[in-house]
Amino acid sequence: MTIKVGLASDHRGVHIKARLLQTLQREGFDVCDEGTDTTDPVDYPDFAIRVAQQIRDGKLDRGVLICGTGIGMAIVANKFHGVRAASCYDEVIVEMSRRHNDVNVLCLPGDLIGERPVDELVLMWLRTEFESGRHSQRVDKITAIDSSDTPDINRGV
């Protein structure tokens, strides 16, 4: 089954996003580009929302969001039910975000990622499976918070 991936960035991530779009399409992913399209300054929440909503609604399997630090994108995306977003750029953390946390929205720090091979990093993230096992009960507890209006932070401790 083809993995559906949503891409979005603010003005600081637009060049990385353009390159990623080409790479992911070439590698056979079903990619949608949710902007921004120029380096004119924009507000990252407007673009994180476009991808996070589609993850929440089951229209996308994964998202990749890029701003200066990746932090703002992750804060916004994590407000949507079913989204597990993390800002990372190191190879080990990117891999662990999939294996242990089943992260479905990767947030990249466009300003900090430098000469790192972003395309390879994202491809590795897309192809790394969640390990499941003992990690499932932890992710399930995150999902339980998602589905509660008044989460009891002591539950399960």
Ligand X SMILES: O=P(O)(O)OC[C@H]1O[C@@H](O)[C@H](O)[C@@H]1O
Task: Find out whether 145 and 151 touch, Cβ atoms under 8 Å.
Answer: yes
| Residue count, binding to ligand X (CB under 6 A) | 8
Q: Is 41 in the site for ligand X (CB under 6 A)?
A: yes
Q: Is 106 in the site for ligand X (CB under 6 A)?
A: no
Reading the block at residue 99, the tokens are 């294996």
Annotation marks residue 88 as catalytic: no
> Which one of 16-24, 50-58, 65-73, 130-138 is the stretch in contact with ligand X (CB under 6 A)?
65-73
Annotation marks residue 100 as catalytic: yes
Which one of 30, 68, 99, 128 is in contact with ligand X (CB under 6 A)? Answer: 68
Q: Which of 67, 81, 88, 135 is catalytic?
A: 67
Task: Find out whether 73 and 66 touch, Cβ atoms under 8 Å.
Answer: yes
Give, in order, the Cα–Cα distances in Å from 55 to each of 79, 114, 118. Answer: 12, 28, 22
Element of type H or E holding 24: helix 14-26
Task: Find out whether 27 and 1 touch, Cβ atoms under 8 Å.
Answer: no
Closer of 35 and 68 to ligand X (Cβ): 68
Residue nearest to ligand X (CB): 68
